[in-house]
Amino acid sequence: DQWVEELTSNIKKLGIPDLPNFPNCYPAFNPVDIYRAHLTEYLAPISGAEINVIYNAIQWTTTLDKGDLILPVPALRLKGKKPDETAKSIVEQFPESPLVKKPELDKTFVKFFFKPEPLAQLLVPFILKKGIEYGFNPLNGLRDVSDPSKGRKKMIVEFSSPNIAKPFHAGHLRSTIIGGFLAHLYTGAGWDVVTMNYLGDWGKQYGLLAVGFQNFGDEDALLQNPIGHLYDVYVKINAIQREEEYKVKRLREEAKELQAKNENVVEKEAQIQDILDNGIDEQARKYFKRMVDGDQEAVNTWKRFRNLSIDKYKQTYARLNIQFDDYSGESQVKEESMQDAAKTLADQKVSEESEGAVVVDLTKHSKKLGKALVKKKDGTSLYLTRDIGAITERDEKYHFDRMIYVVASQQDLHLAQLFKIVEMMGRKDLADRCQHINFGMVLGMSTRKGTARFLDDILRDVGEKMHDVMKTNQAKYEQVEDPGKTSDTLGISAVMVQDMTGKRINNYDFDMDRMCSFEGDTGPYLQYAHARLCSITRKADLDPAELTSANLGLLTEPHAIDLLRSLAQWPDVFQNTLKTLEPVTVLTYLFKMSHALSSSYDHLQVVGSEPELKKARFALYTCARQVLNNGMRLLGLTPVERY
């Protein structure tokens, strides 16, 4: 297409005859791949290695002092040659190149540094042209790269998955943030992504909720704030249930004492029986049974609670830029799919009866997996049983290539059991397409008004805090169009960035003061970096169309060059993120790039410079803004333009 033609002619001008062609080489999406291919061509005759091996051996670097690309010579797998000697001879023989400087030797490594001017000529127009797409590579998701008509691979990302009428706790918050990020990541990689919320909305506790509503429910309160009201109802009825439980225990002890004294226990027994027959727990069990049996009234009440909750969830998710394609849930799993699975498990002698219940003994495979209960004595299903039914239903409905479950590491065992059981059902093909993405805990998550219960409380609190912070700079504050909305966005960024700052598996402390600070690697800092670039754009007052004619040869200062080199890494960072599946991979890069950016401002002024220089620098900053913007959106942040 036209873009490839433009690119080819641009490369020709730099002295490279043609667009390279290797597997995994995407010159139209990643300018650094042009360098990789170029280096490969030069390295083949002097190293004696096979070209595909060379191409895949050339690596990007995490810090620019290691070069822009680096060749670990042992990766060339040359037999009978000492890597340090080969490295030395490569450095000595490497010919003069239009794109890279003379390589540097570092033990068994060869470091390559890009020549600044060609880099600017190649990269700046590339980023300006690609805009919001720079860094992403939609070819990754093709079933067959050489034949796009075969379509894109399908990915299900199941995440968030809160439990109706229970608090949206820190685990759900993390799942929401990480899942949202993974959905953006795979969309950027060209996969066909389905976002799925698997609500915890089934089980005896929802019978309990309905009983609670009969006792304490209030229509108006329900419509006003469904999640909050249902939670209040749940707390009240739960307290009564526990009280009764405790009472039964006490009565039993008293009966025992009477018995020991050979006294009459009939009255105590009657009291116990009355609670067991008519108490809240039994009412809940009966109600849930009605739900399972499809009793219209019970089901309708249930549906109503569920729908009202979903409406409310949707509003909160919207604040986080998240939408779900599918609100599934435990209640949606068909009895039939669970029975089919149960039959397969029984037929294949995978499951066995144990004291009236059904279990799968997984210890044969691994002690850690233990014995998993798949059917209770009374015949009802469990959390695990519903997941078994759900996985097969999803396979039939979506024919997905892969599915990711974003769930806290507390459920490592649960998901390991699920995947193993699916495999033992004879569906290894299905289990192999699924992956558990886990994460650690958030410690001490509380709001200013007490311990947090709902996501909305947390977001409101952090937003208010950011609003206070914004007000400390009155002059700037007055220029912000909608301070309430902006502080909300900043607060959300603060929470999200803190969450993504470490590896997923690490626990972290929820620290409101730290996350809201502009100093250090925080959400507000990233937003500040973005807003500052936007402010440069406003002040420069240049027509973006003019940028294409900028004389990029003027970008000669070390700060300009380092910034360019950093911007060139973004597509590789994206590719690497597809391997790590860690938001921190993106975040670390964005902070590094922002640091390069903020140290450059004093050296590379735009306003007040000569017109040509002004234009060139403005082009550079426009590219930086684009990369920062693309990276932030990948993480699920909403970049602000001013605050």
Binding positions for ligand ARG, rule: CB under 6 A = 158, 161, 163, 198, 200, 387, 405, 407
- Least distance from ligand ARG to the Cβ atom of residue 169, Å: 8
Nearer to ligand ARG, 382 or 584 (CB): 382
Half-sphere exposure of 513 (CA within 13 A, CB side): 0
> Which residue number has the CB closest to ligand ARG?
200
Please provide the DSSP assignment of 384-404 as one string: HHHHHHHHHHHHHHH--SEEE
Pairwise CA distance, residues 302 & 297, whole Å: 8
Nearest residue (CB) to ligand ARG, 200 versus 523: 200
- C-alpha closest to that of 440 among 421, 474, 415, 412: 412
Rounded to a whole number of angstroms, the minimum distance from the CB of residue 62 to ligand ARG is 33
Least distance from ligand ARG to the Cβ atom of residue 387, Å: 5
To the query of whether residue 169 is one of the catalytic residues in this protein, the response is yes
Q: How far apart are CA 54 and CA 68, in angstroms?
A: 16
Residue closer to ligand ARG, measured from CB, 166 or 229:
166
Q: Which is nearer to ligand ARG, 35 or 159 (CB)?
A: 159
Tell me which amino acid residue 128 is: L
CB 508 within 8 A of CB 499: yes
Closer residue to ligand ARG in complex, CB, 309/638: 309
Minimal distance, residue 431 CB to ligand ARG, in Å: 14
Q: Which two tokens stand for residue 110?
A: 């060869």
Helices (H), 434-550: 455-471, 474-479, 483-500, 512-515, 523-540
**Residue 443: strand, helix, or coil:** strand
Cβ contacts of residue 291 below 8 Å, gap of 6+?
Answer: 202, 206, 207, 210, 298, 299, 302
Least separation in angstroms between CB 158 and ligand ARG = 6
Whichever of 390 and 568 has its CB closer to ligand ARG, that residue is: 390
Active-site option among 38, 111, 154, 172: 172
Backbone φ and ψ for 148, nearest 5 degrees, come out as -60, -20
The DSSP call for residue 94 is P
Is 595 part of the annotated catalytic residue set? no
Nearer to ligand ARG, 387 or 582 (CB): 387
Contacts of 219 (CB under 8 A, 6+ apart): none
Query: Which lies closer to ligand ARG via its Cβ, residue 300 or residue 410?
Result: 410
Q: DSSP code of 574?
A: H
Shortest Cβ 242–ligand ARG spacing (Å): 21
Q: How far is CA 589 from CA 58, 67, 246, 521, 593, in A?
A: 20, 16, 55, 11, 6
Q: Which of 166, 184, 465, 530 is catalytic?
A: 166
399 tagged catalytic: no
Residue with tokens 């290894």: 428
Closest to ligand ARG by CB, 127 or 374 = 374
Dihedral sign, Cα of residue 498, residue 504, residue 506, residue 507: positive
The least distance separating ligand ARG from the CB of residue 318, rounded to whole angstroms, comes to 21
Burial call 580-602: b when 16+ CB within 10 Å, e when fewer: ebbbbbbbbbbbbbbebbeebee
Burial of 84 from C-beta contacts in 10 A (0-12 / 13-18 / 19+) = middle
The encoded tokens of residue 422 equal 């699916």
Residues 496/637, Cβ–Cβ less than 8 Å = yes
- What H or E segment, with its residue span, contains residue 313? helix 296-319
DSSP-derived pairing of the beta strands 109-112 and 450-451: unpaired
The residues annotated as belonging to the active site are 166, 169, 172
